[in-house]
Structure 1
Amino acid sequence: MAKRETLSLDELLERALVKAEDKPCNVPNNWLHFYFTSLIDIQGGTQPPKSQFVSSLQEGYVRLVQIRDFASYDYIVYIPAKDNLRYFEEKDILIARYGASLGRICTGLSGACNVALAKTIFPHQVFHTKFMYWLLNSEWFQNPLLSISRTAQAGFNKEDLSGFKMPLPPLSEQQRIVDLIELLFEKLDRAKELVQNVLDSFEERKLAILHKAFTGDLTAKWRKENGLYHDEEWKIVELEKVAIAIDPHPSHRTPASYESGIPYIGIAECNYRTLEIDFLNARKVSPNVLDEHISRYNISDGDFIIGKIGTIGKPFEIPTSRNYVLSANVILIQAKKEHIIPKYMFYMFQSSHIETQLLEGLKATTQAAFGIKKVRKIKLNYCSIKEQEEIVRILDNLLENEQRAKKLCDVIDNIVHMKKSILARAFRGELSTNNPNEESSLELLKEVLRERVG
């Protein structure tokens, strides 16, 4: 067995403290910067086989907490309690190590964590728990974490965190920082709730208008003025009769990444508020993939995509310029313009009429997916081209308020940015809460390091 390294207090301090010339920013004189792993440890969870999962708590079982539990309690699972599991309590802080939730921080749960989560371990005589929670949520932890993580799938381990430079104020200052953060966040959350309520009312109104549009109620007066009758003009048709649904990757194989290649675009890259596509940050694939796609299908004005895996439906109109490749997770919808107006169909895909069919189709499968065969059989409420034109004209006018809703989304984005700014300033000592006469946090550091002197 290797002999444990014995270090003096001065040597431990030298390893723990960030030198003055290496500090990421200026902080009050009674603060310091330390290297993450000199004071903080993480313990990853384990991954028991799914054959052990049960959906209800039984004697001798414990809850297995997964990343999905950070946001939803719809799928709680339990596993046999064993000695090799990583247990944690509600007061403990968990960090997501993999996937799209990489770096997400959670507390308030208890049980055993799976391999995608890590429990944070730190000396409580040095850190208040809530201070640690907000510190891990701040740019001081999140930014370097995203920069060192090799991929969202590869995640991170303890060694990856060793170079992180973290601020440490005195304990009393930690509590004042927490109190002010939570006070300011409470006010911002109330403002966000008010804005969200207005947004929800816009969405409810929009859905109601779309429902009327595709049941014929919106154009009832127009039909009467033109001597037309609903039963004669309206019918239900399957999508494949009036439109083309294209699977961009019929082989179902995701192309390999290719540095400096062509943007690979799915629903995740689509900004529904700005109606822009994030080409810059999209994954890149070989130009040969684009050549193969161009040989199979064209893109015309009014064409749109819908998600078929994960995010189902949610239409997004795409540009005709072919400087990108469509993801394997979307389906391209093209109107047969002699039968249906593209924007009429685009509006319909935003309605509850289509959403209901998508949700019903999902119930038939264990995976959140909606294949192209099902898309081609989606039932559309269909009317004459002239009535379609009238419906599009009315919807364009009535839904102008969507622009106001998008501005409200900007308000919500600003609130998110304000929170990040508050956290950044808090851990630079810029919230005017520090008392310069309080004992330096260096004494806290020495206290815990003395216990490690062998």
Structure 2
Amino acid sequence: WLYIKANMFCYNINCGGTPSKDISEEGEIPFLKVYNIVNNKVDFSYKPQYIPKEVHKSKLKKSMLRPNDVIMNIVGPPLKKIAIIPEEYSEMNMNQAIVRFRPIKYVLPKYLYYCLQYDETLRDVINETRGVVGQSNISVSQSRNLVMPIPSIEEQAEIVSKLEEMIKREEIVLSLVSDEKNLDELKQSILSKAFRGELGTNDPSEESAIELLKEVLQEQVK
């Protein structure tokens, strides 16, 4: 597996902005705020806000969102609110408290989504924010420098499949006791096994890490 900074396998990691005079309760382009990330999913039914398409394509061009983009809040507490833009929204935008990760074709959005949920990915960055009174912030620069393990795309798909199967099974069991803390601890245990390569997904016949690195670097210079 390669351990690579996010800016090497994502296009233009950016946060949004807030054109306050252009935001309204009705409009053309859905405008996401942190409160629209609920249980690591986009929930645009809660206090929906919109911006004009003209603003979306001009002032906020750098923070356009499309299906399968991965987003994360960078202003807390709490931090680590992560979601994938669902297929039902062909275009969205976001405010300055959210950062966007758009992976290149060699990294699956769902794999990146789970990487960001894994405590170890953000541990050092979050530790740097502790002790600060009030807000805890992650910078865009820190987001770009997050290091994640990247196996071949076939193994990523297998990891995602096994993760979702295991998490779903354990959620059903723990729903009987309604213990959110235990559920989160169990999820982290499953994620830890996944990103240590302990779910039995690695196949020696898959392309080597060196070949994957070459492809990633070639993609970045295009």
Contact 2:66–2:92 under 8 Å retained in 1: no
TM-score in terms of structure 1 length: 0.34
Moved over 6 A (4+): 408-412
Displacement of 1:350 after TM fit? Answer: 0.9
Question: Aligned pair 1:255/2:20, yes or no?
Answer: yes
Deviation by residue 1:307-349 (Cα, 9 ceiling, x = unmatched): 01113232111124245431221001111122x2221111111
1:289 paired with 2:27, answer no
Q: Distance in 2 between matches of 1:293 and 1:363?
A: 33
2:98 is the alignment partner of 1:330:
yes
**Which amino acid in the other structure matches residue 319 of structure 1?**
P
Q: 2:111 aligns with which of 344, 347, 357?
A: 344
Q: 1:197-256 deviations in whole A, cap 9, x for unaligned?
A: xxxxxxxxxxxxxxxxxxxxxxxxxxxxxxxxxxxxx2321111112322223xxx4432
Question: Does the 8 A contact of 1:266 with 1:327 survive in 2?
Answer: yes
1:400 equivalenced with 2:168 (yes/no): yes
Letter paired with 2:35 = A
Q: Which residue of 2 aligns with 1:64?
A: none
1:315 to 53, 58, 82: 82
Q: What letter corresponds to residue 248 of structure 1 in structure 2? A: G
Summarize the Cα distance change of 1:333–1:363 in structure 2 as closer, same or farther, 3 Å threshold: same
The separation in 2 between residues aligned to 1:358 and 1:333, in whole angstroms, is: 17
Counterpart in the other structure of 1:243: 10
Write the letter of the residue equivalent to 1:386.
E
Structure 1 position 356 matched with structure 2 position 130: no
Equivalent in the alignment of 2:70: 304
Q: TM-score, normalised by structure 2?
A: 0.64
| TM-aligned CA distance change 1:240 to 1:329, over 3 Å | same
- Which residue is 1:381 aligned to? 149
Residues of 2 paired with 1:260 and 1:387: CA distance?
Answer: 43
Letter in 1 for 2:101: I
Distance 1:351 1:288, change over 3 A: same
Q: Secondary structure at the match of 2:124?
A: helix
**What CA distance in whole angstroms lies between the structure 2 residues aligned with 1:343 and 1:403?**
19
Q: Corresponding residue for 2:159?
A: 391
Query: Offset at 1:389?
Result: 2.4
State the AA in 2 paired with 1:325: N
Instruction: Give SS of 1:336's match.
Output: coil
List per-residue Cα deviations over 1:339-367 (Å, max 9, x = no partner): x2221111111111123133134249664
**8 Å Cα contact 1:259/1:284 also seen in 2:** yes
SS of 2:26's partner is strand
Q: Partner letter of residue 314 of structure 1?
A: K
CA contact (8 A) 2:66 2:90 kept: no
Distance 1:343 1:269 in 2: 19
CA-to-aligned-CA distance 1:105-159 (integer Å, 9 cap, x gap)? xxxxxxxxxxxxxxxxxxxxxxxxxxxxxxxxxxxxxxxxxxxxxxxxxxxxxxx
Structure 1 295/355 Cα, relative in aligned 2: closer, same or farther at 3 Å?
A: closer
Cα distance in 2 for partners of 1:365, 1:381 equals 29
Q: Which has the larger radius of gyration?
A: 1
Change (3 A) 1:392 1:280: closer
Residue-by-residue CA offset, 1:363-406 (whole Å, 9 max, x unaligned): 49664111111100011122222322222222122111365379
- CA distance in structure 2 between the partners assigned to 1:263 and 1:408 by the alignment: 36
Q: RMSD value over aligned CA atoms?
A: 3.3
Q: SS at 2:82's partner residue?
A: strand
CA distance in 1 between counterparts of 2:24 and 2:166 reads 44
On the 8 A contact 1:303/1:333 being kept in 2, the answer is yes
Mapped contact 1:357–1:378 kept (Cα < 8 A): no
- Give the secondary structure class of the aligned counterpart of 2:143: helix
Distance, in Å, in 1 between the alignment partners of 2:113 and 2:31 is: 22
- Structure 1: gaps of 5 or more residues: 1-233, 413-454
CA distance in 2 between partners of 1:323 and 1:337 (Å): 20
2:5 maps to amino acid: E
> 1:348–1:354: 8 Å Cα contact kept in structure 2?
yes
Are 1:246 and 1:332, in contact at CA under 8 Å, matched by a contact in 2?
Answer: yes
Deviation at 1:292, TM superposition (A): 2.8
Structure 2 unmatched runs, 5+: 181-222
**Percent identity (aligned):** 17
Contact map agreement 1:265 1:279 (CA 8 A) in 2: no
State the alpha-carbon separation in 1 of the partners of residues 100 and 125 from structure 2: 16
Write the distance in 2 (CA, Å) between the matches of 1:394 and 1:259.
40
Q: Secondary structure at the match of 2:162?
A: helix
